[in-house]
Amino acid sequence: MGRNKSAMLELAVLGLLHRTPMHGYELRKQITNVLGLFRALSYGSLYPCLHELLAAGLIAEEHDETGPAGPARAASSTRPRSGRRSLKVYRLTADGKERLQELLGEGGPAAWEDDGFGVHFAFFGQTRADVRLRILEGRRSRLEERTESIRAALTRTRERVDSYTLELHRHGLESVEREVRWLNELIASERQVASVPQVASERPADGQANPSDKEST
């Protein structure tokens, strides 16, 4: 089949469209800003991906008659766009929902690598509890490997590199250790919930899993 379609981009698109239908333009903003997964996803990769998903029947497009959803839209003209140009709103099809569940159910190594973890975590609300736990634990061991690697580098090269390189490693190590602590909290929280298991297909977890009781401030 098609050419592109990196698994992560596909997952992000299907996952976001599962929440609410939207334009490609809005999808890109969400993927870039809200998920923060791709630093700045370009249209050059998003639109072709959308066309492929459409061809595969995983998403459907509808022509938007309401015009762009600008900030002050409600106040001014209700005049329809009269279809001068193609404004498309994409939504998830039944096949698309199936595919999304399939992707979320895999829970393999791709789900805990740097590029995959964020996307998978963002859609934990639709992910089975056992898969969630597996992904969190996979991510933790991945980061623990990195901890060891930096620690080793730090011991090996101590005194042989300048203070800036040392500081970079020190800060990197602390960042990774901090993320491991965060994962430990999440895993503990998941294990508590695990005593009351739930089905993935019907109204999956929202408000039940309450990771970390710290107030934000």
Partner DNA sequence: GTTAGCATGTAAGGAGTTACATGATTTT
Partner DNA sequence: AAAATCATGTAACTCCTTACATGCTAAC
- Which residue ranges make up the site for DNA (CB under 7 A)? 3-9, 23-26, 38-45, 47-51, 67-73, 76-77, 81, 84-89
CB of 41 to DNA, least distance (A): 5
In this chain, which of 63, 73, 81, 170 binds a second copy, going by CB under 8 A? 170
Amino acid at 214: K
Return the residue of 85, 163, 197, 202 that touches a second copy, per CB under 8 A. 163
- 138: tokens are 């996979």
Give the integer Cα–Cα distance in Å for 177 and 194: 25
Confirm or reject binding of residue 192 to a second copy (CB under 8 A): no
User: Which of DNA, a second copy, none binds 40 (CB below 5-8 Å, type-dependent)?
Assistant: DNA
215 binds, among DNA, a second copy, none (CB under 5 to 8 A by kind): none
Among a second copy, DNA, none, residue 206 binds (CB under 5-8 Å by kind): a second copy
Mention every residue, 6+ apart, whose C-beta is less than 8 A from residue 117.
Answer: 111, 135, 139
Give the Å distances, CA to CA, from 51 to 56, 57, 60, 93. 9, 10, 10, 14
The one-letter code for the residue type at 213 is: D
**What's the CA gap between 17 and 52, in Å, rounded?**
15
Interaction residues for a second copy, span 34-53 (CB under 8 A): 34, 36, 39
φ, ψ at 88 (rounded to 5°): -115, 135
Q: Measured between alpha carbons, how far is 97 from 13 in angstroms, rounded to an integer?
A: 11
From the list a second copy, DNA, none, which binds 125 (C-beta under 5 to 8 Å, kind-based)? Answer: a second copy
The site for a second copy (CB under 8 A) is made up of 19, 33-34, 36, 39, 114, 118, 121-125, 146, 149-150, 153, 157, 161-165, 167-172, 175, 178-179, 182, 186, 205-207, 209-212, 216
